[in-house]
Structure 1
Amino acid sequence: MENAEKTSYQKISPKKLHKRIGILTSGGDCAGLNAVIRAVTRCAINVYDWEVFGICKATLGLMSRPPQVMQLTVNQVDSILTMGGTILGTTNKGNPFAYPMANGEIIDRSEEIIEGYHLLGLDALIGVGGDGSLAILRKLAQQGGMNFVGIPKTIDNDVDLTERSIGFDTAVNIATEAIDRLQFTAASHSRVMIVEVMGRDAGHIALNAGIAGGAHIIMIPEIPYRLENICNYIKKRQEQGQDYSIVVVSEAVCTEAGETIARMQQFGQCLLGGIGQYIADRISKESGAETRVTVLGHTQRGGISSPLDRILASAFGVAAVDLIAHEKYDYMVTWQNRQVISVPILDAIARYRAVDPQDTLVKTARGLGICLGD
Structure 2
Amino acid sequence: METLTDPTALEQMPRRIGILTSGGDCPGLNAVIRGAVLKGTEVYGQEFVGFLDGWRGMIEGDCITLDRARVRGLAKEGGTILGTSRIGPYRTEAGQPENILRTLAEQGVDAVIAIGGDGTMRAASLLRNDGIPIVGVPKTIDNDLDGTDYSFGFDTAVSIATEAIDRLRTTGNAHKRCMVLEVMGRHAGWIALHAGTAGGAHAILIPEQTESLDQVCEWVISVRDRGRSPMVVVAEGFTLPDMDGAFSDKGLDGFGRARLGGIGEMLAPLIEEHTGIESRATVLGHIQRGGVPTAFDRVLATRLGLEVVELVARRQWGRMVALRGTDIISVPFDELAETKQVPVGRYHELRAIFG
TM-score calculated relative to the size of structure 1? 0.87
The letter for the 1-side match of 2:316 is K
Identity across the alignment (%) = 41
Alignment partner, residue 118 of structure 2: 131
CA contact (8 A) 2:188 2:208 kept: yes
For residues 18 and 151 of structure 1, do their structure 2 counterparts lie closer, same or farther at Cα, with a shift above 3 Å needed? closer
- Matching residue within 8, 26, 33 for 1:30: 26
- Matching residue within 300, 312, 319 for 2:307: 319
Alignment gaps of 5+ in structure 1? 1-16, 100-106
1:346 is aligned to 2:322: no
1:97 is aligned to 2:90: yes
1:215 is aligned to 2:211: no
What is the rounded CA distance, in whole Å, between the counterparts of 2:212 and 2:218 in structure 1?
10
Alignment partner, residue 283 of structure 2: 295
What is the rounded CA distance, in whole Å, between the counterparts of 2:351 and 2:49 in structure 1?
48
Aligned pairs for 1:1-374 within 5 A: 19-64=15-60, 67-92=61-86, 94-99=87-92, 109-111=95-97, 112-143=99-130, 145-242=131-228, 244-259=229-244, 260-262=246-248, 263-265=250-252, 267=254, 268-348=256-336, 350-359=337-346, 362-366=347-351, 369-371=353-355
Deviation at 1:266, TM superposition (A): 5.8
CA contact (8 A) 1:207 1:220 kept: yes
Length, aligned pairs only: 340
What is the rounded CA distance, in whole Å, between the counterparts of 1:18 and 1:60 in structure 2?
22
Once the two structures are superposed, residues 107-139 of structure 1 have per-residue CA deviations (whole angstroms, 9 ceiling, x without a partner) of 673244333222222221110000111111221
Deviation at 1:366, TM superposition (A): 3.4
TM-score calculated relative to the size of structure 2? 0.92
The letter for the 2-side match of 1:121 is G
Deviation at 1:233, TM superposition (A): 1.6
For residues 272 and 266 of structure 1, do their structure 2 counterparts lie closer, same or farther at Cα, with a shift above 3 Å needed? closer
CA contact (8 A) 2:115 2:139 kept: yes
The letter for the 1-side match of 2:50 is G
Superposition RMSD on alpha carbons, in Å?
A: 1.7
Deviation at 1:18, TM superposition (A): 5.9
For residues 225 and 340 of structure 1, do their structure 2 counterparts lie closer, same or farther at Cα, with a shift above 3 Å needed? same
CA contact (8 A) 2:14 2:110 kept: no
3-state SS of the aligned residue for 2:74?
Answer: coil
Once the two structures are superposed, residues 253-296 of structure 1 have per-residue CA deviations (whole angstroms, 9 ceiling, x without a partner) of 11331332123236434211111011112101111110111000
What is the rounded CA distance, in whole Å, between the counterparts of 2:227 and 2:43 in structure 1?
62
3-state SS of the aligned residue for 2:76?
Answer: coil
The letter for the 2-side match of 1:258 is M
What is the rounded CA distance, in whole Å, between the counterparts of 2:253 and 2:296 in structure 1?
35
CA contact (8 A) 1:31 1:301 kept: yes
What is the rounded CA distance, in whole Å, between the counterparts of 1:270 and 1:114 in structure 2?
33
CA contact (8 A) 2:14 2:312 kept: no
What is the rounded CA distance, in whole Å, between the counterparts of 1:264 and 1:133 in structure 2?
22
